[in-house]
Structure 1
Amino acid sequence: MFSLRLCGQRPFSKILNSSSPPRLINLQHLTRIRHPRNFESRCLQRCYAQSSKKPVSKPNLSAAEQAKQQARAAAANAGSKKYDIAERLLIYHAGTGRITFLAMVKVTTLFLGAFFTFIVVPGYIKAEKSEWEIIGVALCGLIPLFFVAYTTSPFTTQIYIHLPPAARTSRPALERFIHGALPPSTELTLTTMSAIAKPRYSTMQLGHLRPAKRRFGIVNYVRDAEGAIAENETRRWYNLRALTKFGVQEVRTDKKQKKKAKGTKIRDLTEAWIWDAVKDKIEKRAAEVAAAKSS
């Protein structure tokens, strides 16, 4: 009844006929009050109906403000631009078989050293064996561990190149950048494995890498000491030191793999031709430096 008061109408005025005697009901309007809820809702809609608001016209912007808005939109579109080539491109992969085998060897020697050091050696001490026997048993567990860690630490599993935005627009732009400019400041990320087969990432500039032959030919690339020292300064005391010696093995590509690579996307490939170009650049730069020093 509160809603009926708000309408300011008398809903039962038509039902009660003024000309008829009191308490006589007009039967023509009984059908309108069979559903009082609908009647009330319609009344409320009429009472609280609001006129539609007209859109407020915005004032015209000046030419300077329009230019600023266009510049902001262009900057936003440039920041969200999608390139055809990834920013960090894989250019070398040692092979899944090699990596898996080397990881298994590392983990096996680690468990072997722990077994001899923490189980066999205390048993020999309790049995009151001679000192030479105890030392020999301890060396049986430690020598394989240190040998595997020494010979496999330079093994490089992957190499990534960091591309500038100009070289990521298209495939021809990438080829021009690799075969043409390729400045020494181009960053490379070499991935190796720790003693527990955990990946270790070493990021350096292309100009800081030079060919070398060390550790019986296991190491074929060496990083300049200046770059390693600068990286060690940014690391915490509990972090491992930066690597300076790397062993990049040659990987053969079959003809079947080359045929399959033509139909796949560039992001899913190992761009080995880039590593070949980078390797030639490193060798030429090293030869130029050696010729300058000799002269």
Structure 2
Amino acid sequence: MLQFRAIIPRLRPMQLKPLSPSSPLSASLCRTLRSSLQKSLQQQPRRWYAVPVPKKPSRVEEELMRQARAAAKSGKEYAIPDRLIIYHAGTGRTTFLAMVKVTTLFIGAFFCFLVAPGYIKAEKPVVETAGIALCGIVPILFVAAVTSPFVTHIHIHLPAYARTSKPILERYVRTLPPSTQLTLTTMSFISKPRYSSLQAGDLSPTRRRFGLVNLTRDTAAENAKRSWYMFRAIGEFYVQEKAPVRRVRYEKKKKDQVDRWIWDAIKEKLDKKASTPTSA
């Protein structure tokens, strides 16, 4: 019992005396710990988020990537677009005709909606009022009739095999089938483009309306499919015989360059077909 009482005081915890903040030892120790902690934080790179470890793609993923690259390369094999512009009437001439159409509309609106009502209000003679109204209507009808066959652009739609290279395109043009799709662009009476999709074999060279029309096609079947409220299909066209002269200082190859030689080949085939006598 005496031995147990002697051991118990030894098991009591030691009373630790805390370091006072005013002591020099504690102040130096705090500064040392603070400086070492700051240096370790500055040297350690900051990682704001975890970066996933890159995994090696599987065989299926590699095969899919290879097929995607092959498909992307196959789309770039065509050196020629599927829609080529083969005729252009000229920017200056097209702009001039469009401005003439718009100006005629303004003139017609001025005479019909401003001058003619003034004549009616002033109780002018009917002949004078009708003449003023005709001054606005006749120019619109005349310009629309004269400029409606004028073709501003012609595009050709090429098959896939003809777009591989320029020599193959030339070979295709030499043996051009009559079913080749063409798109002829004309202008409406408000200068809005009108597109006529047809086959090259449908065109026939002719001369009508004092030389204002040099190409025609049969539109009876197409008009039969259209509703009564739709515009009638265009059957008369005018394409300039010679290409417009371009006066430029520096000639650069553009993406929208006109391949006029294709239209010349088509026109030659049309003339040859028209000159060949049909067998009875």
Q: What is the TM-score normalised by the length of structure 1?
A: 0.70
Contact 2:219 2:234 in 1 (8 A): no
Rounded Cα–Cα distance in structure 2 between residues aligned with 1:132 and 1:54 = 90
CA displacement at 1:39 relative to structure 2 = 8.9
Q: Percent identity?
A: 49
Whether 1:183 aligns to 2:177 is yes
Match of 1:267 among 231, 255, 260: 255
Contact 1:95 1:251 in 2 (8 A): no
Whether 1:241 aligns to 2:250 is no
Bigger shift: residues 123-132 or 69-78: 69-78
State the structure with more CA Rg. 2
Contact 1:113 1:142 in 2 (8 A): yes
Whether 1:74 aligns to 2:70 is yes
- 1:6 maps to what in 2? none
Number of residue-to-residue matches in the alignment: 255
- 2:3 maps to what in 1? none
Q: Which AA in structure 1 matches 2:136? A: G
Change in Cα spacing, 1:39 to 1:87, as seen in structure 2 (3 Å) is same
Match of 1:93 among 88, 91, 94: 88
Q: Which AA in structure 2 matches 1:74? A: A
Change in Cα spacing, 1:265 to 1:225, as seen in structure 2 (3 Å) is same
Q: Secondary structure at the match of 1:273?
A: helix
CA displacement at 1:287 relative to structure 2 = 4.2
- 1:34 maps to what in 2? 34
Rounded Cα–Cα distance in structure 1 between residues aligned with 2:36 and 2:162 = 75
- 2:7 maps to what in 1? none
Contact 1:94 1:249 in 2 (8 A): yes
Measured on the aligned residues, the alpha-carbon RMSD in Å equals 3.8
- 2:242 maps to what in 1? 251
Change in Cα spacing, 1:32 to 1:241, as seen in structure 2 (3 Å) is farther
Contact 2:89 2:243 in 1 (8 A): no
Q: Secondary structure at the match of 1:250?
A: coil
CA displacement at 1:228 relative to structure 2 = 3.1
Rounded Cα–Cα distance in structure 2 between residues aligned with 1:286 and 1:260 = 40
Question: What does 1:83-232 align with in structure 2 at a 5 Å threshold?
Answer: 83-179=78-174, 181-225=175-219, 228-229=222-223
- 2:11 maps to what in 1? none
Contact 2:204 2:274 in 1 (8 A): yes
Change in Cα spacing, 1:139 to 1:256, as seen in structure 2 (3 Å) is closer
Rounded Cα–Cα distance in structure 2 between residues aligned with 1:223 and 1:269 = 27
Q: Which AA in structure 2 matches 1:164? A: P
Contact 2:87 2:153 in 1 (8 A): yes
- 1:9 maps to what in 2? none
Is there any run of 5+ residues in structure 1 with no aligned partner, and where? 1-18
Contact 2:186 2:193 in 1 (8 A): yes
Rounded Cα–Cα distance in structure 1 between residues aligned with 2:54 and 2:166 = 53
Rounded Cα–Cα distance in structure 2 between residues aligned with 1:227 and 1:142 = 32
Q: Secondary structure at the match of 2:207?
A: strand
Q: Which AA in structure 1 matches 2:115? A: V
Q: Which AA in structure 1 matches 2:33? A: I
Q: Secondary structure at the match of 2:177?
A: coil
Change in Cα spacing, 1:104 to 1:39, as seen in structure 2 (3 Å) is closer
Q: What is the TM-score normalised by the length of structure 2?
A: 0.74
- 1:4 maps to what in 2? none
